[in-house]
Amino acid sequence: MIKFFIDQHGCAKNRVDGEILATHLSKTSKYELAENAEDADLIIINSCGFIKSAKEESVNALLDAKSAYPDKKVILAGCLSERYAELFSESLVEADGIMGNGDLSDIVSVCDSVMKKDRPVVKSPQKGVSFCMREVSFGFKNSAFVKITEGCSNHCSFCAIPIIRGELRSREAESILDEIRTLVKNGTYEINLIGQDLAAYGTGVDDEEIRKSLIQETGEGFSPLASLMKLISKIEGDFVVRLLYIHPDHFNFDVLEVMKEDSRFLHYFDIPFQSGSSDIIKKMNRVGTQEMYTRMISKMREIFPDMILRTTFMTGFPGEKKKNFEETAAFLKEIKPDWSGCFDYSREDDTPAYNFKPRVFKRTAKKRADVLVDIQSRITEEKLQAHVGKIYSIIIEEVIPNEDECLAIGRAWFQAPEVDGAVVVRYEEEDKAKVFEGAVVQAKILAVTGVDLDSRLV
């Protein structure tokens, strides 16, 4: 058996890709997944190519692996190799093989070639949504990401995703439902639907058959995403569903009606606004305005007062003046998201914004990002205080070995995996049988500690 290790980088969508790569290899009679790089014969760097820092991290991971294990084979896969396959085939001699992310089943033939001492460079067309029933998970037990779309057709001027992953395509509803049924049957409690833009599900140029099928199943008058959610609602079982990544310019308000009908859909919304300045939003090739986005959040909160909002902001976009930044800061204070991430603009090859001027000094962009982070920190602490004294269902991710007291780390419904804070669960010795990885327990929130919460099992 040839042992392989996958070094994961990037977003949740890339993690799903990594699990698919591992499943394709593990289902053969030749390859076996290793727990760490040291025990592997073959190391696969599942790279990210979204922004400069992520690209550097992925390249460094490959160089470090080759330096630490010169006798092992190292393959560069994922978004970065999809984006720069031709360049890397000549310049990145440390890579024993290069594979894009078009058809993930290519990994078997790529690994076979590498182990035969060939140096394949494989980049398949971006067609359909590459998936399989995953038999490998790199996440926490009983929580899973389910990808429902691939690519993106929004073409924000700063974003390289359409360059890397192509135009929007959607998975057939029955394929998604089959995956969710299998996960639920196997005990998965938390289903996180992901795609570059969930709002665009079923709207791609090649998605006509998907749209027709959804109309047959749920009738006319619903967005494809709401129709899909209606079908998910028919699945029996004790599980919850979270929607991640919805572009603000075409938020599907009919999904809120589905959520009213089925409480298993969490009132958690991940809407990346990127800016609160209408001028900058327009330069980002978006059609919304600060006023439109503010009204949208206000309307959503009227329907779900308990809703959780996560968003993302970018500072230093070309042409961003002090006035524009102040508008973004004011917008942040106005909508008061529970969580938000902030990063300074990364100038990406082949994107329209690459040539936009005037450019903002990196130092200025970083300072502005720090201001937004500080504002968000204060908002988050205030929001978290509202949970103190309440009892929530907590999905346990890790049990912490501790001689002095029993501790575990988990998440409540208002905390998405890997990006939001956590809940520390304290419990007594006699409750050990109840607390294990993947268990869903009841805990009372006692205090706020930074972005995390302290609790006790009830």
Amino acid at 406: C
DSSP 8-state assignment for residue 397: E
Q: What percent of the chain has pLDDT over 90?
A: 92
Entry pTM:
0.93
pLDDT digits (tens, 9 = 90+) for 414-458: 999 989 999 999 999 999 999 999 999 999 999 999 999 999 999
DSSP 8-state assignment for residue 320: -
pLDDT for res 451: 93
Per DSSP bridges, beta strands 169-170 and 149-150 are antiparallel
- How does DSSP assign 414-435, residue by residue? TS-TTTS--EEEEE-GGGGGG-
Q: Once rounded to an integer, what is the mean pLDDT over residues 210-235?
A: 95
* Angstrom distance (rounded) from CA 150 to CA 130: 8
Bin 316: left if φ > 0, else alpha if -120 < ψ < 50, else beta.
left
* Angstrom distance (rounded) from CA 136 to CA 296: 39
Give yes or no for residue 137 having a pLDDT over 90: no
* Angstrom distance (rounded) from CA 204 to CA 150: 10
Q: Which residues does residue 268 pair with via DSSP β-bridges, in sequence order?
A: 308
Q: What are phi and psi of 57, to 5 degrees?
A: -60, -40
Helices 107-115 and 12-26 cross at an angle (nearest 10°) of 60
* Angstrom distance (rounded) from CA 95 to CA 84: 13
pLDDT for res 130: 87
Rounded to whole angstroms, the maximal C-alpha distance in the chain is 64
pLDDT digits (tens, 9 = 90+) for 279-309: 999 999 999 999 999 999 999 999 999 999 9
* Angstrom distance (rounded) from CA 111 to CA 75: 8
* Angstrom distance (rounded) from CA 218 to CA 258: 12
Task: Return the half-sphere exposure (C-beta side, CA atoms, 13 A cut-off) of residue 216.
Answer: 8
